């Protein structure tokens, strides 16, 4: 079974991923993040088809302590954050850990 990528964030953040073919997403406008982001993350965590959750790094600050811990410690799906902070790390490595293969590996 293939694992889907889900994107959570503002419409501006999710649009590029949607144009690239990501079909699972949660749009949370910036002015609603303190109230609605927890629910969006929990819905995606409960989706058995999702293997990778992509979020903007700064959006983690809008999550409640419990939801943030749940998403950061989740093995499947795995959280990948983009932008900013030191926690964003190595995207290639995070994706490889999440799905078990290196998508950027070049064929000989």
Q: Would you call 38 helix, strand, or coil by DSSP?
A: helix
Q: Would you call 6 helix, strand, or coil by DSSP?
A: strand
- Number of domain units in the chain: 1
User: Where residue 47 sits, what CATH number does that domain have?
Assistant: 3.40.50.10580
**The pLDDT value given to residue 20:** 87
**The pLDDT value given to residue 87:** 47
Residue 30, domain extent:
4-99
63 in a domain, yes or no? yes
Q: Which helix (H) or strand (E) covers residue 79, if one does?
A: strand 78-82
Largest CA distance in the chain: 49
Adjacent-strand bridge partners of 26: 8
How does pLDDT run along the chain (108 residues), one tens digit per residue?
A: 568 999 999 998 899 889 888 999 999 999 999 999 999 999 999 999 999 999 998 999 999 999 999 999 998 999 988 876 544 456 666 666 655 666 556 655
43 in a domain, yes or no? yes
């Amino acid at each position: 079974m293939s694992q889907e990528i889900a994107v959570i964030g503002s419409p501006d953040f999710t649009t590029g991923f949607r144009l690239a073919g990501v079909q699972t997403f949660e749009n949370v406008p910036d002015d609603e993040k303190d109230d609605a982001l927890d629910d969006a993350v929990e819905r995606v965590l409960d989706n058995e088809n999702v293997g990778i959750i992509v979020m903007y790094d700064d959006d983690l600050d809008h999550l409640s302590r419990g939801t943030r811990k749940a998403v950061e410690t989740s093995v499947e799906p795995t959280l990948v954050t983009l932008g900013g902070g030191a926690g964003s790390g190595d995207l290639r490595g995070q994706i490889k850990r999440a799905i078990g293969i290196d998508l950027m590996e070049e064929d000989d």
